[in-house]
Amino acid sequence: MILVCGEALVDLVPQEDGGLWRAVPGGGPANAAVALTRLGEEAALVCRLSGDVFGRQIRAHLAERGVDLEWAVAAREHATMAVVGLDADGAAEYSFYLEGTVDWQWRPEELPEPSEDVRAIHTGSLAAALEPGAGVLREWARSHRDRVVIFHDVNARPAVGLDRAAFTEGAGRWMDVAHVVKVSDEDLAWLEPGRDPVTVAERLVVRHELDLLLLTRGGDGAVALSARWGDRVSVPGAPVSVRDTVGAGDTFGAAVLARLSDLGYLDRPGKLAALAPGTAGEVLEFAAGAAALACTTEGADPPDRAGVERFLRGTPGVAEC
C-alpha cells in the first residue's frame, strides 16, 4: 500500500468549442493516487474532502478508480477549485480559488498511523506548501520516515501567489524529510532563476543527502541523481502527439514509486541506498514513458501498466553522463 497525502480538488478545463468549461476532479496528489492504481499498486489518498457538490464528485471519481478512501476526512469547508488554461502546445497553466477551502486545514489528529502494509508516503504540491496544514503534514511524514519511504513532489505553483523565499525554505525542509524527491525544471527555474536546473539539482542532492532526486524536463526527458553515486542518469523525452500536459508530472511520480515497488526498493527505506545508476535508469525510463502517454489524453487520465509496457518497447535507451 502507498499512501498519497494532499489535495483533491476540481479543475475547470476549457472545452474545444470555446467559452465552456468542464468540471474535472484533479489535484496533483489525487491524480497520483489514480495513476498508482492504474499501474497496479494499492493506493490510499489521505485527504480532506468537502461534502459540497464538488466534494461529492471528487469522492465518487476516486472511488470509481479504485483509490482507497479509508483515511479521507469528511470536512465542512468548501472544495478547492482550479481553472486550467492551455497554451498552443497544450501546456497547462492554473489559476486557483483556495481561500478557506478544505485542503489546507489539517489537524494532527486527522492523520493516520500507517498500517504495517504501508511501504511509502507520497507528499507534495499545494498541500505541502500552504499553511496551516503544510507544517502538520511535514511533521507527520517526518515521524514515519524511519519505517516507510517518503516521496516528495516539489510541484511549485507560483500562480497561487506563494512567496518565493518562503516556498524555497519549506521545500528544503521537505527535502530533509524525504528519501526521494521529484522536481521539474520549471520548479527550479522559479526557485532559483537564471541557474542551470541540473546544477541546482546536483547541489540539492548533496545538501539534503537524498537517496534519489528526479528532475523532469518536459519534452527533453528526465534526469536521476543520488547522493550515493557520482553519475547522473538521463533519458530523452518520448515523442508523442500532445493533447495536454495535465497530470503528466503526477503520473511520472506515481510511476517512479510503482517501479521502485516492483524492484523491491520500497520494502524499507534503507534499501534505497543500494539503488544502482543502471536500475535508476530503468525506473526513470518507465516513469518517462508513463508521463508521455499521459500527455496524449485530455486532462488527468493516466495510462495503465500494460499501455506503458507496450509503449516502452519502442523508446530509446538510457544514457549515463
Domain boundaries, the chain: 28-46+115-320
307 SS3 class: helix
Contact predicate 150/178, CB 8 Å: yes
pTM for the whole structure: 0.92
pLDDT at 88: 66
pLDDT at 90: 63
Residue in the structure block whose three cell numbers are 465542512? 76
pLDDT at 231: 85
pLDDT at 205: 96
In Å, how far are 39, 53, 170 from 158, measured between CA atoms?
A: 30, 28, 14
- Return d(Cα 241, Cα 234) in angstroms, integer: 22
Residue in the structure block whose three cell numbers are 523565499? 165
pLDDT at 158: 81
Q: Which of 44, 14, 39, 15 is nearest to 29 (CA)?
A: 44
Is 28-46+115-320 CATH 3.40.1190.20? yes
pLDDT at 315: 57
Contact predicate 120/150, CB 8 Å: yes
pLDDT at 321: 40
pLDDT beneath 70, residues of the chain: 17-18, 88-90, 92, 315-321
pLDDT at 142: 97
Backbone angles phi, psi at 79, to 5 degrees: -65, 150
pLDDT at 89: 67
Burial (CB < 10 A; 0-12, 13-18, 19+), residue 278, is exposed
Ramachandran assignment for 194, one of left (phi > 0), alpha (psi -120 to 50 degrees), beta (any other): left
Q: H or E element: which one contains 99?
A: none
Contact predicate 67/33, CB 8 Å: yes
